[in-house]
Structure 1
Amino acid sequence: MSIVITTVNVNGIRAAVRQRNERNAGMLRWLSEAPSDVIVLQEIRASHKQAHEALAPVLEGGWHLTMTESSVKGHAGVGVLSRIEPAAVRTGFGSAEFDDLGRYVEADFGAPGIDGVGELTVGALYLPKGAADTPPDAAKFEEKKRFLDEFGAYLAGLIDPDGRVQDGGARDRGVVVGGDWNIAPAEADIKNWKGNLTSPGFLPHERAWVAGLLASGWSDVVRDLHPEGPGPYSWWSWRGKAFDNDAGWRIDYQLANAPMAAAARSAVVDRADAYDLRWSDHAPVTVTFG
């Protein structure tokens, strides 16, 4: 048995599903061919009603959508799209500041049939981009630091030092948190790392935060399966020749606790074959477990 989990920032679900040209039918065609059992979505940027309308063809075909929208219209929004209806859903991570901004939701599923793994929890994260600690964007810098502090504490409470869940239940519960982390963890995760040493997403304290998560028992399963850099990148700017030159960032990834990390078998970035075939500035990142 196996379970396939994908994370993708859709850059606006209504735009993602729209046919862009004769060769690019948008996200719905990709969904019709994707092997995924669970897809975590970021930057839905739509209300529940609008998102369900955009995804109506796949929802009518049996998929289930759990999501949380942002209180700021047209901003953020995350969701879990799954072939099996979740047994339970939790929105946010107990933050008075961030829980209504559409940045985290998690869903519980039954045992995926993988040796050593009991029930499964999958989280969808859209971490703030932040900014450099200089005017006029210093407020965004501080906001991201507060998010890292609060969400880091939440993740620390989710697993113990051995990477096992601390929920008072089965200690072999699998946990995967996928999303747009908006942090490239290391030099191998960004094409032009030397030119981005002072850029948000590659600042020392951000990379140290990710390193701390990995030291605490979480595993970056995409990097574990692709230990040699550079990449695989998952985001390329729409501007210039970034995509054509593969001048990207690896900011979309999946962190897993010990039972799921041990079951990770393959990881693929579904990079479009050409610039005009893209339906988002991010590419889906898919991991097969089991």
Structure 2
Amino acid sequence: MRVITFNTQGIEQAADNGFFQWMVKQDADVVCLQDLRAKEYQLDDKRYHPEGYDAYFFDAFEDGYSGVAIYTRIMPKAIMTGLGFEQCDFNGRFIQADFDNVSVAAFSVPSGLKSEEAQTAKEEYLRLLKGHFTKTLRKRREFIFCGPLQTAHKSQDLSNWYVNQRVSGFLPQERQWMEELFGEMGYVDAFRQVNHADQQYTWWPDYNKARDLNEGARLDYQVTTANLRKTVKAASIYRDECFSAHAPVIVDYDL
């Protein structure tokens, strides 16, 4: 099973930049998209519905804001939206597709870069999201969660990490949250399971040459339950084309 996750920063912009033409060439089984900034009724055009894929959306209440989607070639047994808390459900930040042996979810975490208030909201969101990850451990099936955690896990996941230790996305409390997720809770960072290279970034700041200089951060993840650890066969970040300030993350699973 090939799974792709991509933060579009606006699905219309990503489509204009050629994302869907690229997507259909990837032989992906499931594609998780975040930050659509459009509602489902605005996406009727066939360019948003490539042949061979069924699309499922979870809109944000506010126009032009957030929203997630799952594109799949496999008919899901069920679709679930929301996590039961306002910061997620009001802003369209979680959708899950259940298949025979695994569930795949597209999620997003708000950025804390804009202000202290935004950082406080992000940390509260992470606290509530951790509650969902805890509940998931009690379920008798496997999960792949795909999306931006808006945090670089380790120093190898962030350029100029030393001077960014007081910046949202690499704060001590954020890294501690990641350590708990991938440590005592037992979840797996699927990308790092097979790809240990440095300077593997999925996001670059909005200034000239950052992408060319590869000065960025790995903010986008595929997080799996522990039993899927050995099923991860390959993982890569596609950066040959620029569809948004983020790059697609591609992971192949032996499922």
Tell me which residue corresponds to 1:83: 73
User: Structure 2: which amino acid aligns with 1:74?
Assistant: G
Could you say what the CA RMSD is over the residues aligned between the two structures, in angstroms?
1.5
* 1:154-187 deviation line (CA, Å, top 9, x unaligned): 101101xxxxxx23xxx3x221001011111110
Are 2:224 and 1:256 equivalent residues in the alignment? Answer: yes
| Letter of the structure 2 residue corresponding to residue 42 of structure 1 | Q
Aligned partners of 1:207, 1:54: CA distance in 2, in Å?
41
Aligned mates of 2:199, 2:252 — CA distance in 1: 18
Q: Which one of the candidate residues 151, 156, 170 is aligned to 1:188?
A: 156
Distance in 2 between residues matched to 1:52 and 1:125, nearest whole Å: 22
Q: In the aligned structure 1, how far is the partner of 2:52 from the partner of 2:219?
A: 30
TM-score (norm 1): 0.83
Equivalent of residue 103 in structure 2, options 118, 121, 128? 121
Distance 1:256 1:234, change over 3 A: same
**Structure 2 residue 143 is the aligned partner of structure 1 residue 175:** yes
Alpha-carbon distance in 2 for matches of 1:62, 1:195: 46
Aligned residue for 1:203? Answer: 171
1:141 corresponding residue in structure 2: 119
Contact 1:14–1:54 under 8 Å retained in 2: no
* Matched position secondary structure for 1:67: strand
Per the normalisation by structure 2, the TM-score is 0.94
Q: Deviations over 1:131-169 (max 9, x none)?
A: 48xxxx22212211110111101101101xxxxxx23xx
Which position in structure 1 is the counterpart of 2:130?
Answer: 152
In structure 2, what is the Cα distance between the partners aligned to 1:55 and 1:85? 20
Question: Residues of 2 paired with 1:57 and 1:152: CA distance?
Answer: 33
| Aligned partner letter, 1:53 | D
Q: How does 1:18-37 map to 2 (within 5 A)?
A: 18-19=16-17, 26-37=18-29
Q: CA deviation at 1:56?
A: 4.0
- The correspondence of residues 1-290 of structure 1 with structure 2, limited to 5 A, is 3-19=1-17, 26-53=18-45, 55-58=47-50, 61-110=51-100, 119-131=101-113, 137-159=115-137, 166-167=138-139, 171=140, 173-215=141-183, 216-228=185-197, 230-272=198-240, 277-290=241-254
Listed as ranges, the gaps of 5+ residues in structure 2 are none
In structure 1, runs of 5+ residues without a counterpart are 20-25, 111-118, 160-165
Q: Indicate if the aligned counterparts of 2:79 and 2:96 stay in contact, CA closer than 8 A.
A: yes
Query: 4+ residue stretches of structure 1 with deviation over 6 A?
Result: none
Say which SS state the counterpart of residue 60 (structure 2) adopts: coil
Preserved contact between residue 90 and residue 105 of structure 1 (Cα < 8 Å): yes
- What percentage of residue pairs aligned between the two structures are identical? 30
Give the Cα–Cα distance (whole angstroms) in 1 for the partners of residues 207 and 13 of structure 2. Answer: 18
